[in-house]
Structure 1
Amino acid sequence: MKNTALTEVHESLGAKMVPFAGYNMPVSYEGVNAEHDVVRSGVGVFDVSHMGEFLVSGENALSLLQWVCSNDVSKINVGGAQYNCFPNDKGGIVDDLIVYRIKEDQYMLVVNASNIDKDWAWLETQNTLKSFNAELRNISEGHSLLAIQGPKAIEAMQSLTEVDLAGIKFYTFEVAPFAGIENVIISATGYTGSGGFEIYCKNEDAAQLWENVFKAGANWGIKPIGLAARDTLRLEMGYCLYGNDIDDSTSPLEAGLGWVTKFTKDFVNSEDLKAQKEQGLKQRLVGFELTERGIPRQGYDIVDADSNKIGHVTSGTMGPSVNKGIGMGYVDTAFAKAESKIFIQIRKNLVPATVVKTPFYKG
């Protein structure tokens, strides 16, 4: 089990630690609902240093990324970021990721912790197979990442940098001093729906970063937040979680990721995905709200009014901000339209639900 540079800090704060994606991670400190509410109304800090970071450089860096990524990487300016996915050659998804353009010919890929080794092997294989010969560096082990999230994040952190934090627009970033540390990446690609930004630094600077962030945020009631609240926050926004809502077997089109699947270029398995789009999808990932009491959970069956199975739940919870059972799941296309009536099999009960457009939380 790997530790982040801040594991001892979390333990000293009384965090409940659990194994997650090969790392010893804080799942909660004072309780999921309380931590969730801190991010929705104030400012909270997640240690997400388990995430992976790869550097892709050189004159063929863009060509490699155009091939392995479904989105059009050429549209990213220096200082910009883009949500993306790696399609595999079987119709599924290797991983979803964020691509940062650091320099004209250098990109940083931020990938899911559970997929670091798999993604790295995939990237290396494609780089060699297609003779791109881009320069690849896996810098995951040496870097830490804090996500400072919530509507008070900007004013709470402004004293730590000369960069105008309010000026960092969604999916852009700055490289600048922050909290007394040089060459920090300050980005705004949040996963909670409540604003804020992410700070990338080297492991040796993580303790200083954490300490200074909490000193600066003291007057705003800043608190550490665990992964359990991160999950409820992202689910209220309808954001996919790899391993739940998308995986090696789920089509990016069926997962609602058509908006990052650009057929204006060739990429891995693009012809098959284009054919799938033209022929029509058999199932789709939808959001749903329970209309009676209950909590949907991953793996529960979704059925129609006649108890015929029409899909399955991929993520579910009691949404703390919306105060109702919410979830996402794949259903037959006929039931994918908003307002469709479905039922969630919760043990022996069929609990009625309605398909809705996400996000569940409107902010």
Structure 2
Amino acid sequence: MTSELKQTPLYQTFVDSGAKIVEFGGWAMPVQFSSIKEEHNAVRTNKGLFDVSHMGEVLISGKEAAKAVQYLLSNDTDKLEIGKAQYTALCNEQGGVIDDLITYQIGDNEYLLVVNAANTEKDFNWIQQHVQEFDLNVKNVSDQYGQLAIQGPKARDLVQELVDVDVSEMKPFEFKLDVTLFDKKVILSQSGYTGEDGFEVYCNAQDSVDIWNGFLKYDVEPCGLGARDTLRLEAGLPLHGQDLTETITPYEGGIGFAAKPLIEADFIGKEVLKDQKENGSPRRTVGIEMIEKGIPRTGYTVMNNEGVEIGEVTSGTQSPLSGKAIGLALIKREEFEMGKEIIVQVRKRQVKGKIVKKNQIIKE
């Protein structure tokens, strides 16, 4: 299996530690080290560490970089400045999400787009094709970067101990360049995919192992893709390829906040998104929680109480936090009502559930 798959710089470290390796988006990645529940709980109560070096990085630079980035992306990139990042979507002409990503302005006329691993080549090709009229350079620099995510309520205190800058007041999507961590230069971003406080560290690929091992000396739980998925689902965060696709718009997928179709600048998919902002989207993503026993899985049919099909499950799991079976579902907009009972076709059984808030993390 692994010989045909891409490997992050930490692959051998994971094999040596006995982590369970699986295929994910063309990569050999650890799904778990100890157990998904143990890793999940470490992030909710303490701190956990993820290797996300499989994510892609596309560098856009040059005279018209700012104009090109705005044309490509759904958010208002004029609000970016060095030190501020932005969650956004790369949309097609129909408003469908080719990918959801984070844009970092790392210099004057220089932007780093961090894209999903499975979409890196597709995104890079799309970007190249659609910015030919602009005066700029586009490079796929994914091989140059390692990326680690330290997440959890105690992550910030640890990071503060280890770096040479003040991180105490850093807010979501703020970042610092040229931070020293374990004697390595990194980009430190206040971001993550768990619903907890934490940071993502962008480093030179060859420094990944030293930084990973450095963190593990400080009561940090190594975490795999399994916990990453249960954590993001409890937080109601979408996964591209399931909750977001090229036929699901930002408004349908629950990331309408990352679309700004009322700005003056033009961008790909703007007209469709403007219409959905003003008139509503035909579908919307909702949180679901099962009342009866059964886990909602991707692709399962969702019906109303009359047995009429109203949509489908896009993601589902059993929440380690609550023990409940939860998920995200894309349903007809007119069927939405908080607390409304629904039916999910779980294999041959029809199982009762209800519509709930997407973010299910309980904070005191």
So what's the TM-score if we normalise by structure 1? 0.95
- Cα distance between partner residues in 2 of 1:281 and 1:155: 42
- Cα distance between partner residues in 1 of 2:145 and 2:174: 20
Identity, in percent, stands at: 41
Secondary structure class of the residue paired with 1:166 = coil
**Paired residue type of 1:352:** K
Following superposition of structure 1 onto structure 2, how do residues 303-342 of structure 1 map, counting pairs within 5 Å?
303-342=303-342
- CA displacement at 1:279 relative to structure 2: 4.3
User: Is the contact made by 1:317 and 1:326 (CA closer than 8 Å) also made in structure 2?
Assistant: yes
1:194 aligns with 2:192: no
Q: What is the aligned partner in structure 1 of residue 113 from structure 2?
A: 109
Q: Show CA shifts across 1:150-173 (max 9, x none).
A: 111122233321112223221101
Match of 2:172 among 163, 170, 173: 170
Secondary structure class of the residue paired with 1:171 = coil
Q: What is the aligned partner in structure 1 of residue 205 from structure 2?
A: 203
- Cα distance between partner residues in 1 of 2:243 and 2:17: 32
Q: What is the aligned partner in structure 1 of residue 274 from structure 2?
A: 274
Q: Show CA shifts across 1:98-138 (max 9, x none).
A: 0011123211110000000000001101111xx11222121
Following superposition of structure 1 onto structure 2, how do residues 29-108 of structure 1 map, counting pairs within 5 Å?
29-108=33-112
Match of 2:248 among 243, 247, 250: 250
Secondary structure class of the residue paired with 2:128 = helix
- CA displacement at 1:355 relative to structure 2: 1.0
RMSD, aligned CA: 1.3
- Cα distance between partner residues in 2 of 1:24 and 1:144: 15
Q: How many pairs align?
A: 356
So what's the TM-score if we normalise by structure 2? 0.95
**Paired residue type of 1:181:** K
Following superposition of structure 1 onto structure 2, how do residues 121-270 of structure 1 map, counting pairs within 5 Å?
121-128=125-132, 131-175=133-177, 176-182=179-185, 184-215=186-217, 217=218, 221-263=219-261, 264=263, 265-270=265-270
Structure 1 unaligned runs (5+)? none
- Cα distance between partner residues in 1 of 2:213 and 2:285: 41
Q: Show CA shifts across 1:279-335 (max 9, x none).
A: 432211111111222211111110111211111000000111122111001111122
Moved more, 2-11 or 133-142: 133-142
Moved more, 70-79 or 335-344: 335-344
Q: Cα gap change, 1:212/1:291 in structure 2, threshold over 3 Å: closer, same or farther? A: same
**Paired residue type of 1:281:** S
Q: Show CA shifts across 1:5-60 (max 9, x none).
A: 01011111110001111111001111111110011011111001000011111221
Q: Show CA shifts across 1:43-78 (max 9, x none).
A: 111001000011111221110011110000010121
